[in-house]
Amino acid sequence: MRKRLPFRSSITLLLLLACPALLPGRAQAAGEIYWFSLLSEDVDAAASFYARLFGWEIVPSPTGGLMALRDGQPFAGMNAIEDRLPEASESLWLAAITVADPPQSVAAARRLGATIHQDVTELAGWGRYAVIQDPQGAPLMVVEPARSLGGRQGYGGWRWAELWTHDPGGAATFYREVIGYEVENVPVGDGVYSALRSGGQRNAGLVKLERTDIASRWAPYIGVTDLRGILVRVWQERGQVLREPAEVDFAAAGANRVALIADPSGAVVFLYQLDERATADPTVAADARRATPVPAAPRSGDAPNIHVSVTIGYGFGPGWGSAYPDFMRMSVGPY
């Protein structure tokens, strides 16, 4: 049985897990999504799920947690947290976003009404970090890394991130002051999608939550080659498909279909299939071949069912409430 930690303790441990394995690399610009850490109420089940789904290598850490590797390189942290709400899940993926000056970012966050869970802390050989919760309730790490994890990944890796928030205007102001993001309103079909931009590139999206009983958070996107096939395996591996593939038209991100899933512990993640322009790139195609796992053997009686609901909540704000598909009542910009 892995020791289960309260949220704040697990953040420090997850960062310590990453330290021994980080590799030197390019400097990462402010505003990049640097790392995601899974905080899970059933970390062993979740780790097995992701390993079978995406081909990630899961390795133990000397300090007691787990780490996910892609091509032998650190990719994500994983650790157990206490199950404080038996009727709902508090499992989530926690984003780490790079900043130029952590003390300045934390001071701005505090001035704008954020909760500071962990003030600026230095880890020798790794860099500086802090753990904050924005005024709308979304938790995140701000980091000034001394070493690089390589930035945005390819297939089977992080492709995008999105901030779900009840107050996009307030969030835009907060993240401009804390991270350095500017909002860029990108035409998408008949509407507009608000992207968060820094350092000359789009790093994340900004979406409004219409329901007040759903807590704000950062949501990761993972690139896949065969979205429909992956969704069948999600069901086979005891995950949940919370939202069917939706056609999107966001040329800047290169996606054409997106779906929402939850792992067996309740942590949610988007799956993101790149369009033909991206898959025609030889480098992307090679990455896709390496990252595509062998499909799991069907179990007796298995059949895909992507019309499901789940009740989920976490401790940084109101519970997620009722049937999950209704959760997707979100609106896009401009903001």
DSSP string for residues in 14-26? HHHHHGGG-B--P
Number of domains the chain is built from = 1
Q: Where are the beta strands (DSSP E) in the chain?
A: 33-40, 57-60, 66-70, 73-80, 92-98, 115-123, 127-133, 139-145, 158-165, 182-188, 191-198, 201-209, 217-224, 240-250, 255-262, 268-274, 330-331
Query: Is 138 within a domain?
Result: yes
Q: How far apart are CA 230 and CA 288, in angstroms?
A: 13
Tens-binned pLDDT, residue by residue, of the chain (335 aa): 454 444 444 444 444 333 333 333 445 678 988 889 999 999 999 999 999 999 899 998 755 689 898 888 888 889 898 877 777 778 889 999 999 999 999 999 999 999 999 999 998 777 899 999 999 999 999 999 887 654 455 556 777 899 999 999 999 999 999 999 999 988 877 778 899 999 888 999 999 888 787 788 899 998 888 888 999 999 999 999 998 887 665 544 455 688 999 999 999 999 988 655 444 443 343 344 334 443 333 333 332 222 222 222 333 222 232 223 344 444 555 66
| Per-residue pLDDT tens digits for 312-323 | 233 322 223 222
pLDDT of residue 193: 84
Task: Please give the residue range of the domain that contains residue 134.
Answer: 7-331
> In the structure encoding, which two tokens stand for residue 300, read together?
């007796």
Q: How many CA atoms lie within 13 A of 153 on its CB side?
A: 28
**DSSP secondary-structure letter at 312?**
-
Please write the tens of the pLDDT for every residue from 147-179.
765 445 555 677 789 999 999 999 999 999 999
Tally of residues, the chain: 335
The whole-number pLDDT of residue 79 equals 87
State residue 215's pLDDT score. 82
Q: What is the pLDDT of residue 250?
A: 55
Q: What CA–CA distance (Å, rounded) separates 106 from 33?
A: 17
User: What integer pLDDT is reported at residue 50 of this predicted model?
Assistant: 95
Query: From residue 316, how far is each of 8, 79, 114 by CA, in Å?
Result: 12, 18, 12
Q: Which amino acid is at 227?
A: L
Angle in degrees, 0-180, between the axes of helices 227-236 and 43-54, rounded to the nearest 10: 150
Enter the tokens of residue 257.
């279909």
* Inside any domain, residue 182: yes
Q: How far apart are CA 75 and CA 54, in angstroms?
A: 12
Give me the pLDDT at residue 226, please.
86
Indicate which CATH number applies to the domain containing 69.
3.10.180.10
Q: Which tens digit of pLDDT belongs to each residue from 5-40? A: 444 444 444 443 333 333 334 456 789 888 899 999
Q: Which two tokens stand for residue 222?
A: 């993972």
Does any domain span residue 16?
yes
- Whether 61 is in a domain gets the answer yes
- Residue 2, in any domain of the structure: no
- In this prediction, residue 115 carries a pLDDT of 96
- At residue 5, the pLDDT reads 43
Tell me if 1 is assigned to some domain.
Answer: no
- Cβ burial 20-57 (10 Å sphere, 16+ → b, else e): ebbeeeeebebbbbbbbbbbbbbbbebbbbbbbbbbbe
Q: What is residue 300's predicted lDDT score, i.e. its pLDDT? A: 30
Q: Does residue 288 belong to any structural domain of this protein?
A: yes
195 in a structural domain: yes
332: number of Cβ within 10 Å: 18
* pLDDT for residue 103: 98
Q: What pLDDT is recorded for position 148?
A: 65
